[in-house]
Chains A and B, each alone.
Chain A
Amino acid sequence: MRLPKSWLQDYVDFNVTDEEFIERMMWRGFELEGVEKELKDVSGVITGKILSMEKHPNADKLTVCQVDLGDKRAQILTNAKNVFVGAIVPVAYAGARIGNHDFTVASIRGVESQGMFCSGQEFNLSDVEYPGAEVDGILILRENTPLGIPIEKAIDRDDVIFDFSVLPNRPDCNSVIGLVREAAAALGQKMKTPIIPHIEGEGDVNDLVKVTVENGDLCPRYTGRAATDLKIGPSPAWMQRRLKEMGMRPISNIVDITNYVLVEYGHPTHAFDLACIRDGHIIVRNAEEGEKVVTLDKKERVMDKDMLLISDPQGGVGVAGVMGGLNSEITENTKAVFFESAAFKASNIRHTARKLKHMTDAAARFIKGVEPVNAQLALERCIELVSELHAGKIVGGTVDVCAADLKDREIDVDVSHVNRILNTNLSGERMAELLATIEVPAKASGNDLHVIVPHFRTDIESGIEADADIAEEVGRIYGFDNIPAVLMNGDTFQGSLAREFQAEDKVKDVLVACGCLEMYNYNFTGPAALKALSFAADDERNRAVKLLNPFGEDQSLMRTTLYMGMLDSAARNIRRKTGYGRFMEVGNVHFDLGGDLLPREEKRIGLVFFGEQESFYTLKGVIETVLDRFGVKGARYVKNDIACFQPGRRADVVVNGRKLGELGQVHPDVLSAWDVPGPIYMAELSFRDILDLSVDTPAFQPLPRFPVVSRDLAIVVPEDSESAHWIEIIENAPVDVIVEKGRLFDVFRGPAVGLGKKSLAITFNLRAEDHTLTDEEIKKAFETIIRVLAENGAPLRQ
């Protein structure tokens, strides 16, 4: 909300610096958004008197003027016709700036000009504001204007405009009056509250206009007054100036009055040309579905039955709370005006403005919340201004259709509770004093504070929130900075991290120790990305949650797997040649369960590896490390057919028959969908499953007491068989000793082994629990193992 300093000064003495004022407002909850000079686009323009004028030697239309700038002289060229020797004019002397234009010394056809003269338009002045401002030529200043002073001083446009952000619970402060009320308290003064007189007028508006409100729920109050014998013309200088300071454009006296009252009292009013209200009957009703109204901006608006329409018996004359109708617009020929000042329901106006895609100043204020008492104040203020501006003849009486309760509410507040909330020790009397500074009357008696809630404080509630609401007001005025910081006391609390949060830390720490960089990807993905991963029809990852209002198709789904985001980021790193190819992410994925059910949320651990050093096995090694760190034993890697991976290079991670996750080399089709060269290796693991299987406190296993014997062998097996299969056969061979720690240490292919075959070199350990193995035992066990292998189709390599 903008607040011109000069307007503020109508009501209070501005007795501090701007900085001090801004800080005090901040402590009351009004944060500064900006400060502007009144002539914000003008700097360095000063007044000067033309001493002499000569024709430019080489240019017919130009005149060379010698100008007295007070403390210096300047030579200025001009082509203006209205300047004369002795005229005092605004001079944009070299170094001045208007808008985006910087003035410098320039030479025109061989003659130097140290700047330019300015017109009234450059200062956004009208004739009403400064005589001659709209003339075609240079602004001729009054004869007594001092020389060399800034133009903003010379034309009295040197105001400062503060712009404060108003919190949503204080719609009353979206007005000059409301903001000044707070500013006065901040300055420690009593505001000179304006009193709006009731101007009687002649006759009775009720004889001219009849108002029927059909929907009192959407329009709790509708008031109106009228004026006749209008003299439509420009509004006076002071009003034009203030409208401009508030960022509005003066139009004509009657329209300007409604705009002025809008910013002054924060209440939207509307002026109808009374002659255009057919039958003199205003009906406030829901629109018919598809009913059309042409609004002031000449656009046809198609209404629906939830929208409130201001109509006469023949049709709409305005969209309630949003914009008036073109058919009843104030024009220069308007003879009589009907001012409407109503309270409309915020949510309904919001619906209308959104549906029509037409947000106006009026609608914005109705949406933030207006109240019915202020409606009448605004109406009376319009009438007062008509009278003050001699714009017409006031008609007596008021139309007032009111379903709202207009009485100030009274609440009783628990003084000790307020003190408990704030950790203060203020008496009820002191609280009453503090509240009085913001015009909230209160009276203390014992522990009770009886507060009369003024009509404009719609935020102060009557119910269970009352104590807190008053505590906020008292605290705000007393000063939050006067409340000391005190640590909580009372019961001792054991702070702690639940197991799952510890585990999340651990997963990340282990993966970082394995060389991974941690990614954070967005949760959004799109149907194209999901389709590119080609999950099988029954894969739950196809059941993505859909957003109703996404940014775009490609961000319309919630991820069901971390793959999309990881691939996006991997592709980005590859394109940018960052030289790093080992990443992880721990994040949530969601599965749609249908209906109104909340989706199922699961935490996943994702890995994406790429670059020369990486392979299926480096990825697998990291997964094995994670499982090892969590004490998850017995993981099997079982070939799967997940289509986003290359066949033959993809596997599920299975423990006790439960799939914990999967890994693989990204399928070339997926790579091309992401337009990125491979190979890329990816994995995704279920955080919950690892947590469930993890062993926090492993039980101690006694160390072997007798020596271990290591044996190697090389067998010839079919190319498509898996080493784990043969190691399993070795470890489960029917022998009397313990066979363990089987491990593949070499693979050989070649003519010596034969086509479609490979040779596996495997090492394993033999031992016994209770004695040192004899050579005989070792020999026997080794031979049995060789025999079992051969029986299963894996002869020793010769």
Chain B
Amino acid sequence: MENDLIRIREEAQKKLAAMREECDLVALQQQLFGKAGELTGILRTMGKLSKEERAQLGASVNKLKQELEAAMEERRAEFRKKAQELRFQQEALDVTEAGVSPVAMGHLHPMTKTYRTIRDALVGMGFQVFDGPEIELDDNNFTLLNLPLDHPARDMQDTFYINDKVLLRTHTSPCEIRALQTFKPPFRFLMPGRVFRVDEVDASHSPVFMQIEGFVVDRNLNLANLKGTLDAFIHAVFGENVKTRLRPSYFPFTEPSAELDMSCTICGGKGCRVCKGTGWIEILGCGMTNPHELENCGLDPKEWSAFAFGVGVDRVTSLKYGISDIRYEYENDARFLTQF
């Protein structure tokens, strides 16, 4: 009997080693432990043995059974692992193939992105958004801003007229008048919107463009505050490394007036085509609000001070993204819009 067990063990181990597929394990299982199985057969013969012999044989058979079952289990695991490896191999993907997006997302216009960047920087400095109409009264666009009818500077901004009292606003500054007429100072407003000028379309001009006006009214505001505010906002939009300079200029609605230049974002200040070799780019006009404007709106210019700045969103967008021709911004070509 013991010899039988040794033989069964050897044969089973041989079979296991030679086995090629998982389904062969089932046959071996049957062969050993099935109803007509070899080990089952041995157990069946045990009735003829003495009690001691029975116990001894029983233990041997059990031991062998456990051993073989463990070996078969091990083999099964091996087969499964192999099979899985094979499946993985078959299912391997070309990971460089294009992904499938859930919904193809669209794109905001780059001007909207610029507008939001500027706006968010100013909101962070305590500004609130306010807007006025695109079609304005001459009074708000010019006269109350210290540009009376015969002011030569009216020629600076060629204007589309609806009639002699109504026009397409040439800048967002009339929002200053509306803010002064609507709210009690102190306040800080940013006023975005479209503006219009009689400019034939070319690479750097558009009859329609977008401006953001910043307007702060408070007691004791000064030129240094204007500088500080503009620096903070330019750094927020263009990064901390950009240098700025404030140089004297002229606008009828500010006194003193200034223009803000920033170091050229294209060449970093070394001089290039965009900055015309100067290393500087004019980015916005600004100044301390003219006392006449405050007085025109009922504020005492000795008590109240104000500053304002107007920045062209189109221009900042062109600079920020390196867009060489402003016309792209109104053509709405998908190949342009999908870049941002």
Contacts and interface: CB of A to CB of B under 8 A. Distances in A.
Interface of A: 26-29, 31, 167-170, 346-347, 350, 367-369, 417, 420-423, 464-465, 467-469, 471-472, 475-476, 480-481, 483-488, 490-498, 501, 505, 508-509, 511-524, 545-551, 558, 569, 572-573, 576, 578-580, 582-584, 588, 590, 596, 598-599, 601
Given A472-B256, A515-B103, A596 B163 contact: yes
Interface stretch (B18-26, B58-66, B120-128): B120-128
Given A417-B302, A501-B129, A545-B162, A495 B124 contact: yes
A515 B106 contact: yes
A318 to B, nearest CB: 23
Contact of B227 (A484, A508, A521): A484
Given A420-B305, A512-B108, A168 B156 contact: yes
Interface residues of B, number: 89
B247 A488 contact: no
B198 interface: yes
Contact of B106 (A511, A576, A588): A511
Given A519-B109, A522-B330, A421 B246 contact: no
A51 B249 CA distance: 58
A422 B224 CA distance: 7
Given A168-B152, A422-B223, A468-B256, A569 B332 contact: yes
B160 interface: yes
A520 B136 CA distance: 21
A490 B329 contact: no
B320 to A, nearest CB: 16
B106 A483 contact: no
A578 B334 contact: yes
Contacts of B335: 576, 578, 580
Given A29-B249, A472-B255, A588-B194, A598 B136 contact: yes
Given A488-B125, A598-B135, 18 more contacts: A28-B248, A31-B247, A367-B152, A417-B302, A420-B305, A464-B292, A471-B288, A488-B216, A488-B218, A490-B219, A495-B126, A518-B109, A551-B200, A558-B135, A572-B332, A573-B332, A582-B106, A598-B133
A468 B218 CA distance: 16
B6 interface: no
A491 B219 CA distance: 10
A346 B245 contact: no
A518 B337 contact: yes
18 contacts: A27-B248, A31-B247, A168-B156, A347-B149, A350-B152, A421-B288, A423-B225, A476-B248, A480-B223, A496-B123, A515-B106, A547-B168, A548-B161, A551-B198, A582-B106, A584-B106, A599-B135, A601-B134
Given A423-B224, A578-B333, A579-B334, A487 B129 contact: no
Interface in B291-340: 291-292, 295, 301-302, 305, 329-335, 337-338
Closest 5 CB pairs of A and B: A493-B126, A580-B334, A29-B248, A472-B256, A347-B150
Contacts of A549: 160-161, 198
Contacts of B134: 523, 588, 590, 601
Interface stretch (B41-49, B85-93, B228-236, B262-270): B228-236
Contacts of A347: 149-150
A170 B105 contact: no
Nearest to A27: B247
B222 interface: yes
Contacts of A551: 198, 200, 207
A345 to B, nearest CB: 8
A476 B250 CA distance: 12
B208 A524 contact: yes
B32 interface: no
B133 A601 contact: yes
Given A475-B248, A485-B224, A547-B162, A421 B256 contact: yes
A523 B196 contact: yes
Interface string B158-194: 0011110110100000000000000000111000001
B96 interface: no
Contact of B207 (A170, A498, A522, A599): A522
Contacts of B255: 465, 468-469, 471-472
Contacts of A31: 247
Nearest to B131: A501
A29 B227 CA distance: 17
A499 B216 CA distance: 21
Contacts of B256: 421-422, 468, 471-472, 475-476
A167 B330 contact: no
B112 interface: yes
A486 to B, nearest CB: 4
A423 B222 contact: yes
Contacts of B128: 493-498
Contacts of A550: 160
A481 B207 contact: no
A481 B260 CA distance: 11
A512 B229 contact: no
A491 B155 CA distance: 39
Contacts of B168: 547, 558
A203 to B, nearest CB: 40
Contacts of A496: 123, 128-129
B257 interface: yes
A417 B220 CA distance: 9
Contacts of A472: 248, 255-257
A203 B328 CA distance: 70
Given A468-B256, A601-B135, A596 B107 contact: no
B124 A514 contact: no
B68 to A, nearest CB: 52
Contacts of A481: 245-246
A181 B119 CA distance: 42
Nearest to B245: A481
Contacts of A598: 133, 135-137, 166
Given A480-B258, A551-B207, A487 B247 contact: no
B28 interface: no
B292 A421 contact: no
Contacts of B27: none
A281 to B, nearest CB: 31
B70 interface: no
A496 B127 CA distance: 7
Contacts of A514: 103, 106
A468 B332 contact: no
A143 to B, nearest CB: 42
Given A367-B152, A421-B223, A468-B291, A520 B329 contact: yes
A573 B126 contact: no
B81 interface: no
Contact of B127 (A26, A28, A493): A493
B126 A169 contact: no
Given A488-B221, A495-B123, A168 B153 contact: yes
A167 B332 contact: no
Contacts of B295: 464
B111 A520 contact: yes
A131 B212 CA distance: 61
A517 to B, nearest CB: 4
Contacts of A475: 223, 248, 256
A610 to B, nearest CB: 11
B116 interface: yes
A740 B85 CA distance: 50
A28 B288 CA distance: 17
Contacts of B160: 547-550
Contacts of A169: 153, 250
Contacts of A601: 133-135
Contacts of A579: 334
Contact of A572 (B116, B216, B218, B333): B333
B290 interface: yes
A414 to B, nearest CB: 8
